[in-house]
Amino acid sequence: MSIPLSIPYTAMEMRKRGHSAAAVDSLIYQNPHGFLIMLSDESRVPREIILRRILHELADTDWSGSPPEVSQLLHRIIRDETSNLDPYRELKDRMNRLALAALPACRDLIGTAADPQGAVLRIAVAGNLLDAGAKVQIQPEDFPGMLATLYDQPLVGDLQELFRAAATAKRILYLADNAGEIVFDRLLIEALPHDRMTVAVRGRPVLNDALLEDATLAGIPELVPVIDNGSDAPGTVLGDCSPEFLKHFHGADLIIAKGQGNYETLSQVAAPIFFLFTVKCPLVAAHIGSPPGTLVAKRTSASSMKAMARRPPPSRRISASSEFPGPKALRVKTIRCLKTTGMGKSWRDIKAWLSLGA
């Protein structure tokens, strides 16, 4: 099976198995680059073997869980089938190197800003765009150039509220997100009362999320204690975290949660959480009320949250066109994905799909 045909093949199989349009969009169409990368390297393991196993697991997956929980399952399969415990290690190393190279320019920007706290917070949130698992993202090489337009980015939330909350907090837990991004987190940690802070990273590799070695490279242990959460979910799934992490989580009177994955997994948890992330998908954009690309810096209490949109269980069969796009719409989406992933010249595959979906 060719790489381009993996897109419609998976979409059709998910449709047959009763998954909703939202589920298909979340897995495939919102991040076609990530979906194709997820199928791994043909020279090591045939993509069809991985794809078939993914489809089998998806058939039994509870889609009422958060997107990071589904992603956790898929990336466990990738690591298992490829015998590669950290497929994104090379990318993470590149992100860290380029972020460290951009650090002096960031410090200069903060030092000359009229509002240094606002500047450091914007840099830390913008760093969340260094995300291999998102549709809205930037390449590590592009981050220095983005600093010139930092104040042009739309932002939701009160930039000073975090600093006010941190000033009175006795135990602060900082949940890091991605490699590269964690270098810019250091700037924010330095600006906060870090003598009362602990930083947490992922417990095992998933996507380009930061591990202990990334925190060490960024110099975080020089400032604060660093722990891992014991989990390989690209978010914070409390039921999958270690007892040590849970002790810190439940004992904190301020939790700073970086990244959309943490928002998706913690937005309904009754805890003193302050979310810092960039909106990267339509579902979260609708929930926040701001378009993808928006910088978010806001505290959200569980009591004020509306329930996150939930996907139907796999056993539910969907009707022909009420929830899932018809063949024409699906063909259009597939062609867009092929163009987005740089494979728009594979017209033989596009024509094959058009015939397949007719």
Q: Say what the pLDDT of residue 73 is.
A: 85
- Which pLDDT band, with edges at 50, 70 and 90, does 68 fall under? confident
| Residue 267 sits in the same domain as residue 338 | no
| Residues 208 and 180 sit within 8 Å (Cβ to Cβ) | yes
Q: Look at residues 304, 319, 337 and tell me which one is the last residue of a structural domain.
A: 304
| Residue 105 sits in the same domain as residue 210 | yes
Q: Is residue 184, in this structure, part of any structural domain at all? A: yes
**Closest by Cα among 194, 265, 283, 275 to 229:** 265
**What is the CATH number for 243?**
3.40.50.10880
d(CA 187, CA 182): 9
- Which pLDDT band, with edges at 50, 70 and 90, does 4 fall under? very low
Q: Is residue 73, in this structure, part of any structural domain at all? A: no
| Residue 300 sits in the same domain as residue 331 | no
| Residue 116 sits in the same domain as residue 168 | yes
For residue 49, the enclosing domain spans 3-64+327-357
Identify the DSSP state of 142.
G
- pLDDT digits 0-9 by tens, 293-315: 889 998 975 444 444 334 343 33
Percent of the chain past pLDDT 90, that is, above it, reads 42
Q: Is residue 315, in this structure, part of any structural domain at all? A: no
| Residue 136 sits in the same domain as residue 182 | yes
| Residues 73 and 57 sit within 8 Å (Cβ to Cβ) | yes
- pLDDT digits 0-9 by tens, 111-146: 999 999 999 999 999 887 765 554 444 555 566 666
Q: Is residue 319, in this structure, part of any structural domain at all? A: no
Q: Say what the pLDDT of residue 245 is.
A: 98
d(CA 293, CA 306): 22
Cβ atoms < 10 Å from Cβ of 174:
27
Q: Is residue 76, in this structure, part of any structural domain at all? A: no
State mean pLDDT over 33-59: 62
| Residue 100 sits in the same domain as residue 134 | yes
| Residue 49 sits in the same domain as residue 130 | no
- Which pLDDT band, with edges at 50, 70 and 90, does 352 fall under? very low
Q: Is residue 142, in this structure, part of any structural domain at all? A: yes
| Residue 197 sits in the same domain as residue 256 | yes
> Number of C-alpha atoms within 13 angstroms, CB side, residue 257?
26
The answer to whether the pTM exceeds 0.75 is no
| Residue 24 sits in the same domain as residue 120 | no
| Residue 231 sits in the same domain as residue 341 | no
What is the DSSP code string of 289-341?
TS-TT-EEEEE--GGGPPPPP-PPPTTPPPPSSSSS--HHHHHHHHHHHHHHT
| Residue 104 sits in the same domain as residue 234 | yes
- Which pLDDT band, with edges at 50, 70 and 90, does 160 fall under? very high
Q: How many domains does the chain have?
A: 2
State mean pLDDT over 142-155: 72
| Residues 14 and 56 sit within 8 Å (Cβ to Cβ) | no
Q: Is residue 134, in this structure, part of any structural domain at all? A: yes
Strand partners, 178: 209
Q: Is residue 79, in this structure, part of any structural domain at all? A: no
| Residue 22 sits in the same domain as residue 145 | no
